[in-house]
Amino acid sequence: MYEFVTGPLAWIAFGIFIIGMTVKVISVIRLASKKDKVVFNHWSWGWSFRSVYRWLIPFGSRSMREKPVLTIVFFVFHVCLLAVPIFLLGHNILWDERWGITWWSFSETSADYLTLLLMAAAIVLILRRIVLPEVRIVTTAYDYLLLAIAVAPFVTGYFAYHQWFDYKTVLIIHILCGEIMLIAIPFTKLSHMILFFFTRAHIGSEMGERRGAKTW
């Protein structure tokens, strides 16, 4: 089972993720050039870049500055979500064994704390969906499912690292959760991972190049 989930299934998951996202990006650009010509007549790389950049740095936009707590939680969540799996020592060893590639990795303790931090951020995001009326009213079951898909690999990974329950089973569940997330990205709202750059670049050009207004 372990051989299967880290072998063929891993290839399938990464394949669907990479091909799925490529197809998604190409189809968005093709559809835009067919039905959204207005996007291109005021396209500006300068405004696009600044619009993306300002929203990638903490407190880079007015919207973020007005909600400081939420901004910190969002950044902790997203940074940990990307950094932990890529720089985890265990993952690096696995890649080294399989493909002979290595790079810098976190110490095991810091990865442990970052995972805790991510789970804490996720709890805040769930609580805010329940507590705040303006977020509750737009929240659907789908939003909770997405959070579950994104957080499950970290919860199971935490269990596996601390060897709670049966290590082998937990590890396989952990790998499956990670693969589910990779496969889900191109087909769900998680595709904002890439599409974020497109929509932000568009609004930056739309407001900036067309009327000289900042979108941050």
Interior angle at CA 203, CA 198 and CA 206, nearest 5:
120
**Nearest-angstrom CA–CA distance, 172 and 96:** 19
Query: CB 199 → other proteins: shortest distance, Å?
Result: 5
Give least dist CB 185 to other proteins, A: 12
**Per rule CB under 8 A, is residue 57 in the interface with other proteins?**
no
Closer by beta carbon to other proteins, 39 or else 120: 39
Return the residues of window 162-201 that contact other proteins according to CB under 8 A. 189, 191-192, 195-196, 198-200
Binding status of residue 157 toward other proteins by CB under 8 A: no
34 contributes a contact to other proteins by CB under 8 A: yes
Q: Give CA–CA dist 71/62, Å, rounded.
A: 11
Residue 40 to residue 198: CA distance in whole angstroms: 12
122, 114 Cβ separation under 8 angstroms: no
Alpha-helix runs per DSSP H in 88-162: 89-99, 108-131, 133-136, 141-161
Q: Mask of contacts with other proteins, 92-131, x by CB under 8 A?
A: ------------------------------------x---
Burial of 51 (0-12, 13-18, 19+ CB in 10 A): buried
- Asked if residues 121 and 77 have their Cβ atoms less than 8 Å apart, the reply is yes
Binding window for other proteins (CB under 8 A); candidates: 13-21, 100-108, 177-185, 206-214? 206-214
For other proteins, which stretch binds (CB under 8 A), given 81-89, 148-156, 167-175, 205-213? 205-213
Count of residues making up the chain: 216
What is the nearest approach in angstroms of other proteins to the Cβ of residue 85?
20
Binding site for other proteins (CB under 8 A): 28-29, 31-32, 34-36, 39, 51, 55, 62-63, 66-67, 70, 74, 128, 132-140, 143, 189, 191-192, 195-196, 198-200, 202-204, 206-207, 213-215
